[in-house]
Amino acid sequence: MATKPYQLTPSAGKHIKEIWRYSKKEWCWDQAVKYTNQIKSTLEDLSLRPEKGRLVERIAQGLRFQKSGRHYIFYFVFEDQIQIVGISHEQMDHRHHLDLS
């Protein structure tokens, strides 16, 4: 099975940093590391099986999401890569959290 590399948009990279900071502030360093490692593990899994995520075309054509703990990873699959466009907590309004411009 071919692996598709994933690329974080600046917005998605910012989301990971925000998750880490919030987790460290609210709980502890170990929890922040645990959450971000869980997200990275899900990203690696998506590299192997990008079709695993569900389509959510009511937000954007071709947009997919995959749950990772209490977060959702939103992405597009292209011929040569997976583009991660956002990561949001399950309680967030995903449509407004994503920067799809």
> Is the model more confident about 97 or about 73?
73
CB hemisphere CA count around 63 (13 angstroms): 17
Q: C-alpha distances in angstroms, 101 versus 2, 40, 82, 90?
A: 29, 24, 17, 22
pLDDT beyond 80 at 91:
no
Q: Per the domain annotation, does 101 fall within a domain? A: no
Q: Per the domain annotation, does 1 fall within a domain? A: no
Note the pTM of the prediction, 2 decimals. 0.89
Domains in the chain, number: 1
Q: What percent of the chain has pLDDT over 90?
A: 76
Q: Per the domain annotation, does 99 fall within a domain? A: no
Q: At 10, which CATH number?
A: 3.30.2310.20
Model confidence pLDDT, tens digit, residues 4-31: 999 999 999 999 999 999 999 998 999 9
Domain holding 46, by residue range, is: 6-90
Q: Per the domain annotation, does 96 fall within a domain? A: no
